[in-house]
Copies of this chain bind each other. A is one copy, B any other.
Amino acid sequence: MTVVRSTLPDEARRVSCEALQDTLVDLLGLSLIGKQAHWNVVGPRFRSIHLQLDEVVSAARAQADTVAERAAALGVPPDGRPETIAGAFSLPAPEEGWLRDSEAVRVLTEALGAAISRLRERIDATEKADLVTQDLLISITAELEKQRWMFEAENFPGES
């Protein structure tokens, strides 16, 4: 029995929801490693990075919610359980333990960069399938590219 009927044809729904499920995993993973870095960062830039990381976490959590609810709205149940995230998450992430501030900046720049590459592929993939889903992915990309720039700007070496 169909629980939630889709407003899209089958193939369009399949393509869109695959893109949404993959994005969901990236965003939930990003929110978890963002918090991990938020708690473990040490170094002279502790306070700045500690606060900036929490903005990434807030953004990623809100986006994950929108993405998951859009999958549901298209008739496909989203999957954000711990084992699903752990199994599918593939972005660069911090090691266990204390994390030097410069390393936190470096890891986040890379994680955000990788997430953006994957989102840009999904923007292409959903163009035909569903412009509404594509528009959502575009707005997530805009936000993550802004976050990435701020970490990369922070990453620029100081005056020696």
Which A residues contact B (CB, under 8 angstroms)? Answer: 3-5, 7, 28-29, 32-33, 35-36, 39-52, 64-65, 68-74, 77-87, 89, 93-94, 96-98, 100-102, 113, 116-117, 120, 123, 131-132, 134-136, 138-139, 141-142, 145-146, 148-150, 152-154, 156-159
Contacts and interface: CB of A to CB of B under 8 A. Distances in A.
Contacts of A71: 39
Shortest 7 CB-CB contacts between residues of A and residues of B: A86-B86, A73-B149, A42-B156, A46-B154, A47-B48, A42-B153, A44-B158
Dominant SS at the A interface?
helix
B158 A45 contact: yes
B152 A113 contact: no
A73 B135 contact: no
Contacts of A3: 42, 98, 152-153, 156
A23 B57 CA distance: 20
Contacts of A46: 150, 153-154, 156
